Amino acid sequence: MFSRYATFAIRRPKAALGVWAGFLVLAIVLGAGAVDRLSTVPVGDTSTESAFVEDTLVELGASSADVVALYDDIDLTNPTLAQEVRSLDERLSLTPHVANVSHTWDPDVGEQAPLFSSTDGRATLVAVVLDRSLPEAEFDELVEAVEAELRTVDAPTTLVGGVAVLDRESVEQTERDLQRAELITLPVVLVAAVFVFGGLLAASLPLAIALVAIPGSLFILWLLTLVTEVQLFALNAATMLGLGLAIDYALLIVYRFREERARGLDVPIALERTVRTAGVTVLFSGVTVALALGGFLMMSGNVFPSIGMGSIGVVILAMLAATSLLPAMLRLVGHRIRPMKNAADSGAVFGRVAEMVQRRAGIVAVVIAGGLIVLAAPFAGVRLQIPGAESLPESLETRQILDIRDERFPTGGEDPITIVAQTTGDVGPLLETIVAVPNVTGAQVRFVTPDATIIDVLPEGTAQGERAEAVVQELRRDLDPGYEIAVGGPAAELIDQRDALFSRVPWALAFVAGSTLILLFLLTGSVIMPFKAMAMNLLSLTATFGLLVWGFQDGNLSGLLGFESPGFIGLWNPFLVFFLAFGLSMDYEVFLLSRIKELHDQTGDNDLAVTIGLQKTGRVITSAALLIALVFGAFATGESIDMKVLGVGLAAAILIDASIVRMLFVPAAMKLMGEWNWWAPAPLRRFHDRFGLSEPGDDDLVVLDPADDELVVDDNREPSLV
């Protein structure tokens, strides 16, 4: 089936290009609306205690403010200002679907009134809670209307933010970051590709595939939004992966095509051999990456499953484009692409490196393993938190409100721990118990409903800090007032979502590891190499995580990349980097091991197979890694910290894997293991002989008849036109 699909593009290149042109038009037209349909609110496990508290507050109209206005450089004692805010309150209260308006002059806020005013008496807040049950389009219109009303107050400085505004600003910032990355990526990668391919035309072909991948990624996300909720993070992941894999796979195909042309083969035959060898490798690679991304589908919440679905779709798109669109283009313009010069010696330097490593295999393995462990050390101190406005650039108003609240307001801009107590009686004893808890600075009743009492607890430090977490843990463990209580708020949500994520991690890892081990066994026939490859990938990824903690949590990359460290890593970022980078690492693993396996089958010599295998693939892997790292690195130029973390993490993981691990660690480890690399129990060996995967050899090659463009079979080992 794959052979028929791939060779159709060679036999009917114009027809194949027409199909892809139609897809591109469709993708551009429909994919353009994908961004507006994406969910901007990450949703974790909705069955947790903190989720129950949030749902209760939403029902009562007492949840976190959807829209917040901060009026600065004012005089809080000015009666005119007070009257303006009261009039604003009246107008908003009459607006349909506005659930609550709170400010320092609102009599309903009671003892909490001082919390709405700055300690210097020069700024005040107005918080508006909306009906979140509205359809998304109506809710967005309501947010805009409320925002317009809040800006009518006569104040020297007016800033409008809040959860709903943050959602919109996050989408807009993501769009700007993606556009910037694409504008940087394409010309930079084109210049780099010219040096890699030795010509402008050859270099432009991978970028042509990338130009299909960008709208194609949006189109896939648009399709997914028709049947399920897709989270905003999926846009970042799908676009990055689409660009990277399109360039990666195209490079493998074009590189092999130039090698075949260097053997003196005509374009049709060289192209057919390319599809039957490198094309099959791309197929194996695509399956491997898709399986790795399948781990996303087993995680909780709405973030990872939507990223998994979008990313798997993009992998399939890149794989199809590389094995049909690209061959069709090469069929038409391949005669204008220069064959590889000195193809036999093109990777000689990698062969010499492999020989050098094998002579000192033990030392090289110990040094590299030790170095990766040192790089990974900072990860032991990782602090995972749910990101908010602090991850956005300082130019956005929501971020400015957060900074001002942090510096000049009584609570430091931090949301409290919230307790829903199932009682309407006297909660004085409960408050006394809460205040006595270590790291608690205060507790007070927010309001009483017919069924429950809502209590706010102010912890020391930040809302998601270690002391706030300790308070939540102690409240949940030790409070027993004689009636039901539920503890929520940012720290409780962090604990609950982190626990929910880590409860699913073993299942996701088991799926990814199991499927990858099976695929690598089918490729190599060995039970040793799949486990060795898995261990190396995990070690290099842990080193990448250490780099991210050092660079972003500790702030050591803040000067270089232009950001202010929030002091933590976003809760979802390590998982994003892990699954995406693991899949891409296995991509290179498949390409390298397939060549080494083929050579070992021919020679029976482990060391020789490794040396020649690296000589044959080293330049391709290194070039592909460099180009894909440039793609990912461009995303680090965005202003969103989450985008920077993702870009740097993926670029670092790819470079570490393709250089240190693939070029040095692999040959050292394979030298030390010797022929044990290829060991498998007899039953599994027989199973592999029957069902194993491998690239086709030179026998029975399908070639093109130039007279009628029909497929025929040539039984000679060297193909020729008939």
Query: pLDDT tens digits, residue range 1-19?
Result: 566 767 788 888 899 899 9
Reported confidence tier of residue 698, pLDDT bands at 50, 70, 90: very low
Question: Quick one: CA dihedral 489, 490, 496, 497, positive or negative?
Answer: positive
Instruction: Average the pLDDT over 539-565 and give the result.
Output: 92
SS3 502: helix
Give the mean pLDDT of the chain.
Answer: 84
Residue 124: strand pairing partners? 71, 117
Identity (one letter) of the amino acid at 638? G
So what's the pLDDT on residue 587?
77
Question: Which residue, 292, 136, 309, is CA-closest to 234?
Answer: 309
For residue 711, the surrounding DSSP H or E stretch is strand 711-714
Question: Which residue, 62, 165, 43, 60, is CA-closest to 109?
Answer: 62
Question: Which residue, 570, 161, 606, is CA-closest to 386?
Answer: 570
Reported confidence tier of residue 30, pLDDT bands at 50, 70, 90: confident
pLDDT tens for each residue of 580-631:
888 888 878 887 888 888 888 888 889 998 888 888 888 888 888 888 888 8
Integer Cα distance of 383 and 661 in angstroms: 27
Query: Which residue's structure tokens are 């009666």?
Result: 79
SS3 444: strand
Integer Cα distance of 653 and 379 in angstroms: 14
Instruction: Average the pLDDT over 285-299 and give the result.
Output: 86
What CATH superfamily is the domain 2-40+168-379+496-701? Multidrug efflux transporter AcrB transmembrane domain (1.20.1640.10)
What are the structure tokens assigned to 33, written together? 């609306």
CA angle 478, 480, 486 (to 5 degrees): 85
Instruction: Average the pLDDT over 526-545 and give the result.
Output: 90
Q: How many CB atoms lie within 10 A of CB 187?
A: 10
Question: Which residue, 541, 533, 659, is CA-closest to 596?
Answer: 533
SS3 82: helix
SS3 161: strand
Instruction: Average the pLDDT over 557-567 and give the result.
Output: 88
pLDDT exceeds 60 at position 344: no
What are the structure tokens assigned to 506, written together? 């073993």
Identity (one letter) of the amino acid at 477? R
Question: Which residue, 54, 76, 77, 72, is CA-closest to 64?
Answer: 54
What CATH superfamily is the domain 65-161? Multidrug efflux transporter AcrB pore domain like (3.30.70.1320)
Query: Which residue's structure tokens are 């180009």?
Result: 627
Integer Cα distance of 527 and 680 in angstroms: 5
Strand positions, DSSP E, 477-588: 485-488, 569-570
Sequence-ordered list of residues with C-beta below 8 angstroms from that of 64, at least 6 positions apart, any chain: 57, 129, 163, 415
Reported confidence tier of residue 193, pLDDT bands at 50, 70, 90: confident
Q: How many CB atoms lie within 10 A of CB 150?
A: 23
CA 658 to chain centre: 20
SS3 75: coil
The fold for domain 416-488 equals: Alpha-Beta Plaits (3.30.70)
So what's the pLDDT on residue 703?
39
- CATH 3.30.70.120: which residues of the chain? 416-488
> DSSP state, 38?
S
So what's the pLDDT on residue 42?
59
Sequence-ordered list of residues with C-beta below 8 angstroms from that of 441, at least 6 positions apart, any chain: 458, 459, 460
pLDDT exceeds 50 at position 364: yes
Reported confidence tier of residue 151, pLDDT bands at 50, 70, 90: very high
What are the structure tokens assigned to 563, written together? 């950001």
Beta strands at 384-385 and 123-130: parallel, antiparallel or unpaired:
unpaired
> DSSP state, 550?
I
Instruction: Average the pLDDT over 689-694 and give the result.
Output: 74
96-110, 147-161, 401-415: least confidently modelled range: 401-415
CA 3 to chain centre: 33
pLDDT exceeds 50 at position 701: no
Integer Cα distance of 322 and 483 in angstroms: 63
Phi, then psi, of 6 in degrees rounded to 5: -70, -40
So what's the pLDDT on residue 248?
80
Integer Cα distance of 69 and 140 in angstroms: 17
Of residues 493 and 114, more confidently modeled: 493
pLDDT tens for each residue of 392-433:
788 889 889 988 988 888 765 567 899 999 988 888 899 999
CB 244 within 8 A of CB 628: yes
pLDDT tens for each residue of 642-689:
889 989 999 999 999 888 888 899 899 999 988 999 999 999 888 888
pLDDT exceeds 90 at position 367: yes
Q: Which pairs with CB-CB distance under 8 Å and at least 24 residues apart come from 423-430?
A: 423/452, 423/453, 423/481, 423/483, 424/448, 424/449, 424/450, 424/451, 424/452, 424/453, 427/453, 427/455, 427/481, 429/481, 430/455, 430/479, 430/481, 430/485
- CATH 1.20.1640.10: which residues of the chain? 2-40+168-379+496-701
So what's the pLDDT on residue 1?
57
Buried/exposed 344-368: b ≥16 CB within 10 Å, e otherwise: eebbeebbebbbebbeebeebbeeb
Question: Quick one: CA dihedral 469, 471, 477, 483, positive or negative?
Answer: negative
pLDDT tens for each residue of 495-514:
998 998 888 889 999 998 89
pLDDT exceeds 80 at position 129: yes
pLDDT exceeds 70 at position 693: no
42-56, 129-143, 650-664: least confidently modelled range: 42-56
Residue 704: strand pairing partners? 711
- CATH 3.30.70.1320: which residues of the chain? 65-161
So what's the pLDDT on residue 142?
93
For residue 360, the surrounding DSSP H or E stretch is none
Integer Cα distance of 193 and 34 in angstroms: 30
Reported confidence tier of residue 330, pLDDT bands at 50, 70, 90: very high
- DSSP for 595-619, written as a single string: HHHHHHHHH--HHHHHHHHHHHHHH
Query: Which residue's structure tokens are 């897809």?
Result: 23
